[in-house]
Every structure is written in C-alpha cells, then in structure tokens.
Amino acid sequence: MYFAGWIPIGLFVAGGLGQVGQGRSVTTAAAFFLPLTFVYAFVCLSAWYVCRVFPMEAGGRIPRAVAVHLVAAATTSAVWVSLAEGWAAALDALFPGFDARALHAEQRSLLFVVGVLLFWLVAVFLYLLIAFQASREAETRALELSLLAREAELRALRAQIDPHFLFNSLNSISALTSSDAAAARQMCLLLAEFLRATLRLGATERITLSDELDLAERFLSIEHVRLGSRLLVLREVDPGSDECLVPPLLLQPLVENAVVHGISHLLEGGTVRMSASRGASTLTIAMENPCDPDRPRRPTPGIGLDLLRKRVATQFGDAGDVRVDEASGRFRVEVRIPAVTAA
C-alpha cells in the first residue's frame, strides 16, 4: 500500500518537473523521474526511525521534533538530488541523445524542494500510523486489564461462597451433635463427599447443568439427614438443558437459601423444586420452595442471593439475569444465562 501510494506521486513529479512543454516527451520525463521517485520511496522509509525517536508530544518536544525533521528532510532530499545526478549520467551513457543531465540541471533546485515536501508528507503519514498503533495497543491493554479484573472479581466471589456454605453446614452439624450424634456423623461423611466433589468440579470454569444439579442434590442430601421427611426434592429438567454449561456452584446459594430460610422454618417442611428449560439462546434455571410468609424480614438481601447476582452480572453482563419472586407462601428464584454447550 505504501509503494502503491507513490505511483501517483511519481506521475505528478514526471509531469510537473519533466517540462513536457519544452520539447521533451512524456516518455523521456517518465524514464528519468519515475525510477527516481520509487528509489526515494525507499529512502523516505528512514523517516520511521525519526518519528519513533522524536514523537510529537506536548511538553516542549514538538519544536525539537520539527527541527530534527527539517534537518532530516534537507539531508534526505540532498541525497535524492545526488542520486538523480548519477541516474542522469547513467542514462546519457546508455542512451546518447537522451539529454538527462540537462533535465537534471534545469530542475535541481525544484527537485530538492519536492524531496523535502515528500519527506515531510511521509513523516506525517508515519506519525498517523504510530498514533493508530498506539491507540490499538491501548485498547488491547484496556481489554486485557478488564478481563483480568473480571476474573479476579469472579475468583473473589467464588471464594466467598465456599466459607458461607461451610458455615451453614457446620451450624447444622453442631445442632445435631447433642441430640443425634449418629446423624451428625452421617452429615460429616456426606459433607466430606460433597466437598470432594466441589473441589473436583470447582477447578473448571464450566460444568454441565447435570453435574451442577447433582452437586445441589448432594447438598440437599446432607440437609435431609437433619430435616428428614420434612425435606423433599423434585428435579424437572427439559431435554437438552442438562448438557448446557454453567459456572460451578452457581446453584449452591439457592439450595442453601431454600433450606435455611425456607424449609427449616416450616413445621411440615416442603418440597424444593429444581427446574431448567432451554430456549433458542437462553438457559433458564429456577429454584422454588415454600416459605413462611410471617417470618422475620431482612432489611437487605441475603448473602447468598447477593453473591449470585454479582457472579451472574460479572460473568454474563446484560446476557444474564436473576429474578426473585415471592407470592402465596412460595419463594422462587430464576436464573437466566446464555445457553452454551460443549463443542
């Protein structure tokens, strides 16, 4: 593209400096000036180093850069004029009667001025190119920093989920130790199996919805030891939904919330209903459980739901959504994320 841009410049120099009107043919002018113009295109590439070393920046550097470019343009143009003299001598030696030396002598001063202007034109182009590259690099660095910050935030959110879940589980075990030691021991074994599974699956960025629902049921089996027949689980997954990929432990805050703040407050207990459906581009996961409408209300959302909202917003942006609804003694949380399957 750079040398293609020099074609019209070469034609302009041949037509403007060739003095066609003084008896010289277009062929003669083109034979002398076109090769010189393309040689000068190579010579002007040296402006790249000058532009790199002396950037046009504020703070007193602009006058210095202008002065350097004045000297560089004059030097480069002088080299071009010397090359033109050698080229004219070569043409006259190869083609007697070409009279290239006379053409060079007539246009030496004007050739020098044109060389200075062309050098500056190339310098302006290179400064624009350098500015464009710097802008692209800045955009790339900003994107990389944004991705790193997003990943760090996700790791921090996941780090908060594990202690929160473990705290609730240990409280449940502590409550059973004095009343039912065997059940407390069974809960400890189930908790160990659950933690082993979470360590295995939690090390990956995405797991299938089927594995995520299995993790949720493992946790509910731990709580089933404490609640017995008061806790029932219903799983309804549409075909094709269980192969969608989701972040690990996405449903963990929801099953905790369903048990700790829902089922455990009801004497008769209830059923935790886990469902999933897949649309054209959206996976919808719902967790529904009965709740006591007269229970004490919190002034702010629970930690689990707050962490879930932050994870979905950080990882999926506007493509993810968390909706919470409570009506007629039923508490429902619906999570919508993009439907993506393994390649």
Instruction: For residue range 61-97, list pLDDT tens digits in order.
Output: 778 888 888 999 899 989 988 888 888 888 888 877 7
In a domain, 149, yes or no: no
In a domain, 267, yes or no: yes
pLDDT at 329 over 60: yes
Residues 320, 245: one domain? yes
In a domain, 28, yes or no: yes
- pLDDT value, residue 20: 44
Residue 54 three-state SS: coil
Residue, of 293 and 26, whose pLDDT is higher: 293
Q: Are 87 and 36 in contact (CB under 8 A)?
A: yes
Task: Give the count of alpha carbons within 13 A of 77, CB side only.
Answer: 21
**The two structure tokens encoding residue 148:** 């790193």
pLDDT at 112 over 70: yes
In a domain, 161, yes or no: no
Q: How confident is the model at residue 159 (pLDDT cuts 50, 70, 90)?
A: low
Q: How far apart are the first and last CA of the chain?
A: 40
Q: Which of 19-23, 295-299, 300-304 is the least confident region?
A: 19-23
In a domain, 254, yes or no: yes
Give me the count of residues in the chain. 343
Q: How confident is the model at residue 284 (pLDDT cuts 50, 70, 90)?
A: very high
Query: For the chain, what is the mean pLDDT?
Result: 80
Domain boundary among 115, 141, 167: 141
In a domain, 172, yes or no: no
Residues 116, 188: one domain? no
Residues 61, 204: one domain? no
The rounded distance, in Å, linking the Cα atoms of 10 and 24 is 17
Q: How confident is the model at residue 275 (pLDDT cuts 50, 70, 90)?
A: very high
Q: The domain spanning residue 215 has which CATH number?
A: 3.30.565.10
pLDDT at 154 over 60: no
Structural domains in the chain (count): 2
- pLDDT value, residue 286: 92
Residues 122, 184: one domain? no
Phi, psi of 236 (to 5 degrees): -130, 110
Q: Give the mean pLDDT of 315-328.
A: 87
Domain boundary among 141, 167, 199: 141
In a domain, 171, yes or no: no
- pLDDT value, residue 276: 93
Q: How confident is the model at residue 21 (pLDDT cuts 50, 70, 90)?
A: very low
pLDDT at 194 over 80: no
The rounded distance, in Å, linking the Cα atoms of 306 and 231 is 25
Residues 209, 323: one domain? yes
Residues 38, 95: one domain? yes
Q: Which domain holds residue 33?
A: 6-141
In a domain, 173, yes or no: no
pLDDT at 163 over 80: no
Residues 200, 330: one domain? yes
Could you tell me the CA-to-CA distances from 238 to 144, 220, 244, 274 in Å, in that order? 37, 21, 11, 11
DSSP 21: G
**The two structure tokens encoding residue 49:** 């180093």
Q: How confident is the model at residue 273 (pLDDT cuts 50, 70, 90)?
A: very high
The whole-model pTM stands at 0.53
Residues 90, 18: one domain? yes
Q: Give the mean pLDDT of 247-273.
A: 84
Residues 128, 234: one domain? no
The rounded distance, in Å, linking the Cα atoms of 131 and 305 is 46
Residues 123, 252: one domain? no
Domain boundary among 141, 169, 202: 141
Residues 188, 314: one domain? yes
Residues 135, 274: one domain? no
Q: How confident is the model at residue 334 (pLDDT cuts 50, 70, 90)?
A: very high
